Amino acid sequence: MCIFCKIVAGELPSNKEAENEHFLAFHDLYPKAPMHLLIIPKAHIECFQEIDAHTMAGLTEFIQEVARRMGLDKSGYRLITNNGEDGGQEVKHLHFHLLGGGKLKWEHLHDESHKNM
Ligand code: DGP
């Protein structure tokens, strides 16, 4: 079982922010912005390339709802998914990074500058 499947199953702890029957949003262990959530399908789907359009439609609605709930829908946010080896995907369970809570620069992807925001 992958680590995100273990989080879904409750076998690993996580700081959950929102969930429904199919999807889960929880805080990234190593935040790259004042607000950094990971949003996943509960079912194991390896990466974006593998998700079907129907599930993606549900995931889209869930992400938009989470953004509203976090108060990011008007101020803006960044949504990222790393796909596969060259995309830098470390955890092989599809996840979207939802980053916000301040004006983001590209540098926020790889340094500690969000800590000064
Ligand atoms: P990626 O490189 O796109 O596969 O991003 C994986 C992200 O998952 C990375 O930002 C760190 C985060 N992460 C890894 N292990 C855990 C964990 O056990 N719990 C939580 N909350 N986040 C994790």
Q: In CATH, which superfamily holds the domain spanning 3-101?
A: HIT-like (3.30.428.10)
pLDDT of residue 107: 77
> What is the model's pTM?
0.94
- Average the pLDDT over 104-111 and give the result: 76
Residue 113 pLDDT greater than 80, yes or no: no
* Protein residue closest via CA to atom 17 of ligand 1: 29
Domain residue extents for the chain? 3-101
Residue owning tokens 């390339």: 49
Evaluate if residue 106 carries a pLDDT over 90.
no
- In this prediction, residue 111 has a pLDDT band, given cuts at 50, 70 and 90, of low
Q: Is 95 a catalytic residue?
A: yes
pLDDT digits (tens, 9 = 90+) for 73-96: 999 999 999 999 999 999 999 999
pLDDT value of position 48: 98
Q: For the residues 22-31, what does the mean pLDDT come to? A: 97
pLDDT at 115 over 80: no
- Closest atom of ligand 1 relative to the 32 alpha carbon: 10
Residue 12 pLDDT > 80, yes or no?
A: yes
Q: Please give the distance, rounded to the nearest whole angstrom, from the Cα atom of residue 54 to the centre of ligand 1.
A: 25
Separation of CA 31 and ligand 1 centre (Å): 9
Write out the two tokens for 79: 């949504």
Buried b / exposed e over 57-94, threshold 16 CB at 10 Å, is eebeebbeebbeebebeeeebbeeebeeeeeebeeebb
